C-alpha cells in the first residue's frame, strides 16, 4: 500500500519584484496512514508553504506530491476540490472563517459543497461545535467570538466531512493551555479511534511531544525527521540527527 | 445546496443594501418601460378593434370629393358631388347589402331652457344597420318617416344626458335651427371613435328632413357620405372598384379627370392606426431595451467589484472544497437575484404607470400575464448574460492566491 502522503524533492519558488525566493529547497517526506506528527521550525522556514502544498491549495514548483499514490499534478480541478472538501481537513494559521456567516454556518459550509441535506448538515455542525466546547454559540458571527473560540470553530469545520487527513497550522497558537490540551486531545482521539492522519505545525515543544514523529524544517530543508526526542523538540536536533 | 446558496446570495445582497438597490435601478426602469409599452400597445389594439367592430364590419365609406370654387379646392367632403341617386345606384351593385347616404352639420340644439352644440346627422334607417348601431331605448325612425320628411329624432346618449339629464327624453321636443323634432328613440352607448371624439354626441334625423329643413334647399339633394355595407369581407375590393367605376360614369368624368369622390376601406384606416401604434411601441421598446442593457452592464460592474472585494472569501470557500462550478453558481445566483428583484419592482412600477397612462389617454391599458412572463424571462437572461463574466472570474481564481489577498 502506498503511503498516504509522499513528497519527493519538492521545491517551491515565490516570484516577487525582488526576484524569485525559494521557500522550499527540495523537501522529501513520506507520511503513512494513521500517523500523528508535528512539523516544527523557526518562523519563515517554510512550514506553511509545505502545508499549503500538502493541502492541495498550492502546487510544487518542481518535484512531485503523491496523495495515496496518485500524483496530484495529474488530478483535475474537480478532483482537487473534492479532495480539499472531504479528503483533507485544513485548520489555517489565520482561522479563515467567513465573517458574514454564523459559527454554525461556517462549520456546515464544507457539507454544503459535499451535498449533505440541510437537516443532517445542521445537526452535525451543531454536534461538532459541541465537541469543541461551543455548543452555546452557534449563532455568533466570527467577529463576536474570541480568538480561541474562532480557532475552535475552524477545528470543528475541518472535521465536517470526516477527512482522513487533518492538517493544522498552529492550531493551539491562539488557545490557552487548557483549551489547547483539549483540542489536542480531540486530535489524538480522532487519530486513535478513527485512524485519521494528523499533521500539526507547531512552535510549542509540549504539543510536539504529544505526537509520534517530529519533522524539523529550517530554511526550506528538512533538518530532522524522527521521534520527538528532547533535542528534536527544543531545536538542538543537529546534534543528534 | 441551491436553497442554501439562494439564502447566501440574498444575504450577500442585503449586506450591501444601498449598492444592490442602485444596481437594480437600470433593470427597474427597463422593465417598467417594457411593461408600459406592452400595456399601451395592447390597449391601443383593443381600442382599434373595438372601434372597427363598432363601425360595422365589411363597411365602405364613400365621401364627396373636394368642392371646387374656381381654382380653389376645399377639403374632402366639401364638394356637393354625391347625390341620393348615387346611393340608389350603388345599392344595385352585386354584393352590396345595404346603402346609407347621410349628411351632417353642426348645430345648436335646444330643449326647453337647455341648449347644446352637437352634430346633426341626416340619414336613412339603413344607416343603423350598416353601422350596427341599434336603439338602446324607444325606436329608430322608419323608411316611411324618412320619405315623408317626418320631424323625428333619435338621440345619442351624450346629447340625451346634456339636454334632458335624468328625465326621460322620449316624446320630448328638441329644436334644431328653429325646427321642432320629436324624440322617438335613444341610441345605444357607443364610446369613443378613432380620433377620441365622442360618438354618442350626435342627433340622427331622417335624411329628407335634414336636407329639406336643415339645409333649406331640398333640390340640391347633395349628401356628404354614403356608407355601404358589403355582403362579405372577400367582396370588399371588388365592390370598391365597382363603386368607383359606377360613380365616374354617373358623374360623367373623363379619363383625365380626377375622382370627385373617394371610397375608403376600413382596413386602410386600421392600417394607419396600427402603424402609429407600432411606432409608439417601437420607441418604448427602444427605451426599454437600452435601459435593460445599461442595467445589465450595471449588474456586471457591481459583480466585478464584488468579486474583487470578496477574493479572500472565494479563497476560503475553495480551500474547504468549493468547486469552480459552485463558486460560479454562487455569483451567478447573486446576479440573477439582482436582475429578478429589479424585474419584480419594474413590473410593479410599470403596472402603476400603465394604469396612470390609461387614465390620461382614456382607454384600457391592461398588463397581461404574458407581458410579465416576458419581462421575467428577459431579466433572467440579462442576469445570466451579464453575471457570467464576473462569476467566471471568481471561479478562475487560484485558491492560494485568493486566500493570500
Ligand atoms: N506568497 C509569498 N510570496 C513571497 N514569499 C513568500 C510568500 N509566502 C511565503 N513567502 C516566504 O516564504 C518563506 C516561508 O514562509 P512560510 O509562510 O511557509 O513560513 P512559516 O514557516 O509558516 O512561518 P511562520 O512560523 O511564521 O508561520 C518566508 O520567508 C516567506 O517570506
Ligand atoms: Mg506559517
Which residue among A17, A21, A43 is best mutated to probe the pocket of ligand 1, counting the most ligand atoms within 8 A of its Cβ? A21
CB atoms within 10 A of CB A142: 19
Most B-contacting residue of A79, A81, A116 (CB-CB within 10 A), to test interface: A81
Inside any domain, residue A55: no
Instruction: For residues B258 and A63, give the distance between their C-alpha atoms in angstroms, rounded to a whole number.
Output: 98
The confidence band for A241, taking pLDDT boundaries of 50, 70 and 90, is: very low
Mean pLDDT of A56-83: 95
Given the C-alpha cell 341610441, which residue does it identify?
B187
Span from the CA of A220 to the centroid of ligand 1 (angstroms): 10
Residue A77 at interface with chain B, using a CB cutoff of 8 Å: yes
Query: Which range in A173-177, B7-11, B220-224, B332-336 is most confidently predicted, on average pLDDT?
Result: B332-336
pLDDT reported for residue B219: 44
Q: Which ligand is nearest to the CA of B401?
A: 1
Mean pLDDT across A198-203: 94
Note whether B323 contacts A78, CB cutoff 8 Å.
yes
Q: Cβ(B402)–Cβ(B318) under 8 Å? A: yes
CA–CA separation, B280 and B277 (whole Å): 5
| Cα–Cα distance, A192 to A202 (Å, whole number) | 20
Write down the mean pLDDT value for chain B: 83
**How far is the CA of B316 from the CAs of A95, A98, A99, B9, B329, in angstroms?**
10, 8, 11, 16, 16
Q: What is the pTM of this model?
A: 0.71
Ligand 1 contacts CB of residue A45 (under 6 A): yes
Contact A84/B318, CB-based, under 8 Å? Answer: yes
What is the SS3 assignment for A121? helix
In this model, does residue B80 exceed pLDDT 70?
Answer: no
Categorize the per-residue pLDDT at A237 as very low, low, confident or very high, splitting at 50, 70 and 90.
very low
Residues of B engaging A, defined by a Cβ cutoff of 8 Å:
1, 3-5, 11-12, 15, 313, 315-326, 399-400, 403
B85 or B392, higher pLDDT: B392
Report if residue A110 sits inside a domain.
yes
Q: Is residue A123 part of a domain?
A: yes
Assign residue A186 the CATH number of its domain.
Answer: 3.40.50.300
Residue A186: inside a domain: yes
For B116-150, write each residue's pLDDT tens digit.
Answer: 888 888 888 888 887 778 888 888 898 888 888 88
Residue A222 belongs to domain spanning: 34-48+77-234
Give the model confidence (pLDDT) of B142-173 as tens digits. 888 888 888 899 999 888 888 888 888 888 88
Decide if A168 touches B, using CB distance below 8 A: no
Distance from CA of B366 to the nearest CA of A (A): 43
Residues whose CB falls within 8 Å of the CB of residue A35, separated by 6 or more in sequence, listed in order: A4, A197, A198, A199, A212, A213
How far B403 CA sits from the closest chain A CA (Å)?
Answer: 8
Nearest to A109 among B320, B323, B325 (CB): B320
Residue A22 forms part of a structural domain: no
Is residue B68's pLDDT more than 60? no
The alpha-helical segments, DSSP class H, found in A159-195 are 177-194
Domain assignment present for A133? yes
Tell me whether residue A59 is in a domain.
no
Q: Is residue A56 part of a domain?
A: no
**Structural domains in chain A (count):** 1
Using the atom order of ligand 1, give the atom closest to the CA of residue A46: 18
CA distances from A93 to A7, A169, A174, B208 (A): 22, 5, 9, 106
Amino acid at each position: 500500500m502506498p503511503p498516504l502522503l509522499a513528497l519527493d524533492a519538492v521545491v517551491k519558488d515565490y516570484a516577487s519584484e525582488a526576484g524569485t525566493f525559494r521557500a522550499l529547497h527540495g523537501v522529501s517526506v513520506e507520511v503513512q496512514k494513521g500517523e500523528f506528527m508535528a512539523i516544527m521550525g523557526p518562523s519563515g522556514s517554510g512550514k506553511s508553504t509545505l502545508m499549503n502544498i500538502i493541502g492541495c491549495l498550492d502546487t510544487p514548483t518542481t518535484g512531485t506530491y503523491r496523495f495515496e499514490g496518485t500524483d496530484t499534478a495529474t488530478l483535475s480541478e474537480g478532483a482537487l476540490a473534492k479532495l480539499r472538501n472531504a479528503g483533507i481537513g485544513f485548520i489555517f494559521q489565520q482561522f479563515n472563517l467567513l465573517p458574514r456567516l454564523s459559527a454554525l454556518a461556517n462549520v456546515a459550509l464544507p457539507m454544503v459543497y459535499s451535498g449533505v441535506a440541510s437537516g443532517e448538515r445542521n445537526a452535525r455542525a451543531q454536534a461538532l461545535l459541541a465537541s469543541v466546547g461551543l455548543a452555546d454559540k452557534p449563532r455568533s458571527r466570527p467577529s463576536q467570538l474570541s480568538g480561541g473560540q474562532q480557532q475552535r470553530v475552524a477545528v470543528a469545520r475541518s472535521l465536517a466531512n470526516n477527512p482522513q487527513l487533518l492538517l493544522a497550522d498552529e492550531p493551539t497558537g491562539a488557545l490557552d493551555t487548557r483549551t489547547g490540551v483539549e483540542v489536542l486531545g480531540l486530535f489524538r482521539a480522532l487519530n486513535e479511534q478513527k485512524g485519521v492522519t494528523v499533521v500539526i505545525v507547531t512552535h510549542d515543544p509540549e504539543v510536539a511531544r504529544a505526537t509520534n514523529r517530529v519533522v524539523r524544517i529550517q530554511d526550506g530543508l528538512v533538518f530532522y525527521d524522527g521521534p520527538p526526542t528532547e533535542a528534536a523538540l527544543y531545536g538542538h536536533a543537529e546534534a543528534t540527527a | 445546496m441551491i436553497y442554501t446558496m439562494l439564502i447566501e446570495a440574498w444575504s450577500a445582497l442585503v449586506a450591501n443594501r444601498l449598492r444592490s438597490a442602485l444596481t437594480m435601478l437600470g433593470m427597474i426602469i427597463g422593465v417598467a418601460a417594457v411593461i408600459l409599452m406592452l400595456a399601451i400597445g395592447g390597449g391601443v389594439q383593443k381600442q382599434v378593434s373595438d372601434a372597427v367592430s363598432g363601425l360595422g364590419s365589411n363597411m365602405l365609406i364613400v365621401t364627396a370629393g373636394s368642392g371646387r370654387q374656381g381654382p380653389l379646392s376645399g377639403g374632402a367632403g366639401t364638394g356637393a358631388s354625391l347625390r341620393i341617386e348615387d346611393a340608389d345606384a350603388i345599392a344595385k351593385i352585386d354584393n352590396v347589402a345595404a346603402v346609407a347616404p347621410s349628411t351632417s352639420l353642426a348645430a345648436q340644439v335646444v330643449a326647453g331652457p337647455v341648449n347644446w352644440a352637437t352634430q346633426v346627422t341626416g340619414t336613412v334607417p339603413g344607416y343603423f344597420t350598416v353601422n350596427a348601431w341599434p336603439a338602446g331605448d324607444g325606436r329608430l325612425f322608419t323608411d316611411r318617416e324618412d320619405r315623408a320628411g317626418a320631424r323625428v329624432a333619435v338621440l345619442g346618449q351624450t346629447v340625451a344626458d346634456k339636454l334632458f339629464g335624468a328625465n326621460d327624453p322620449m316624446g320630448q321636443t328638441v329644436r334644431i335651427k328653429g325646427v321642432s323634432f320629436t324624440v322617438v328613440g335613444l341610441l345605444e352607448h357607443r364610446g369613443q371613435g378613432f380620433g377620441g371624439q365622442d360618438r354618442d354626441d350626435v342627433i340622427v334625423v331622417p335624411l329628407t328632413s335634414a336636407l329639406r329643413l336643415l339645409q333649406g334647399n331640398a333640390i340640391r339633394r347633395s349628401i356628404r357620405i354614403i356608407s355601404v355595407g358589403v355582403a362579405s369581407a372577400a367582396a370588399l375590393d371588388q365592390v370598391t372598384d365597382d363603386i368607383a367605376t359606377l360613380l365616374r360614369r354617373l358623374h360623367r368624368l373623363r379619363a383625365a379627370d380626377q375622382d370627385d369622390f373617394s371610397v375608403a376601406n376600413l382596413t386602410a384606416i386600421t392600417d394607419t392606426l396600427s402603424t402609429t401604434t407600432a411606432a409608439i411601441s417601437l420607441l418604448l421598446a427602444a427605451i426599454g431595451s437600452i435601459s435593460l442593457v445599461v442595467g445589465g452592464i450595471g449588474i456586471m460592474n457591481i459583480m466585478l467589484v464584488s468579486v474583487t472585494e470578496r477574493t479572500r472569501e472565494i479563497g476560503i470557500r475553495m480551500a474547504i472544497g468549493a468547486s469552480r462550478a459552485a463558486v460560479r453558481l454562487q455569483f451567478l445566483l447573486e446576479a440573477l437575484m439582482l436582475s429578478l428583484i429589479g424585474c419584480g419592482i419594474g413590473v410593479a412600477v410599470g403596472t402603476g404607470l400603465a394604469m396612470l397612462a390609461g387614465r390620461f389617454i382614456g382607454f384600457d391599458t391592461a398588463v397581461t400575464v404574458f407581458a410579465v412572463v416576458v419581462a421575467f424571462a428577459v431579466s433572467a437572461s440579462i442576469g445570466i448574460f451579464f453575471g457570467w463574466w464576473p462569476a467566471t472570474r471568481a471561479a478562475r481564481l487560484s485558491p492560494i492566491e485568493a486566500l493570500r489577498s
